[in-house]
Amino acid sequence: MQKLLALYSGTNISAADLLMISSKVERQFVKKGQLIATPGSVCNVLYVIEAGLFRCFTQEDGKDYTLFFRKEGEILTDYRSLIRKEPGQLYIQALEDGELYKLQASDLAMLFQEVPAMVQMNFQLLEKYYLRLLDDFTFLFAGDATARFKKFMLHHAEIIHRIPQHLVANYLRVTPTHLSRLKGQEQAG
């Protein structure tokens, strides 16, 4: 629960409030390859990743398009579905066995009423999540494959060895062969 509690650092949430929050949080273990969100289902859960690595992707014409990766200490959900209470459009998949802490949307709403500091914390989390999504979105359209690869290496060096290479290639919008060339150029350069 360390990663979950770390989200509250820097806020003025009391020990009693933390106890109330933790009473609403459920622990969930997931297996590698397991989907925790699928298109067409309403996402009613906010996850905090305690352990593991996840990817969010869409599919079109039977082809996957990886949108982003999330690791320990980060939040994970289909925010559009969570906020609008409408069927989601995203797949969220475990890339490794993992441990999540999940908070139901109904409990989150109740905690906003009971724990005023949660509103501030949620705003900070949403802001962080939004900025991260903006970074991910602009990354997908920034520069050529070489520039995207270098930026990926700069920002994701700590997890690149945990991601299957065909998914790194998918994220970078290159073929696995092209990814191998980019890696070779990086090592030679």
- Specify the pTM: 0.86
Over its length of 189 residues, how does the chain's per-residue pLDDT go in tens digits? 666 666 666 667 788 888 888 899 999 999 999 999 999 999 999 999 999 999 999 999 999 999 999 999 888 999 899 999 999 999 999 999 999 999 999 998 898 888 887 777 777 777 887 887 788 777 777 778 888 888 888 888 899 899 999 999 999 999 999 999 998 888 876
Note the pLDDT of residue 8.
62
> Domain check: are 112 and 47 in the same one?
yes
Residue pair 179/168 in contact by the 8 Å Cβ criterion: yes
> Domain check: are 114 and 168 in the same one?
no
Range(s) of the domain holding residue 110: 2-141
> Domain check: are 78 and 147 in the same one?
no
d(CA 154, CA 148): 10
Can you read off the two tokens belonging to residue 129? Answer: 């999540």
Note the pLDDT of residue 5.
65
Helix axes 116-141, 145-156, angle to 10 degrees: 150
The dihedral over CA atoms of 164, 165, 168, 170, expressed in degrees to the nearest 10, equals: -100
> Domain check: are 124 and 153 in the same one?
no
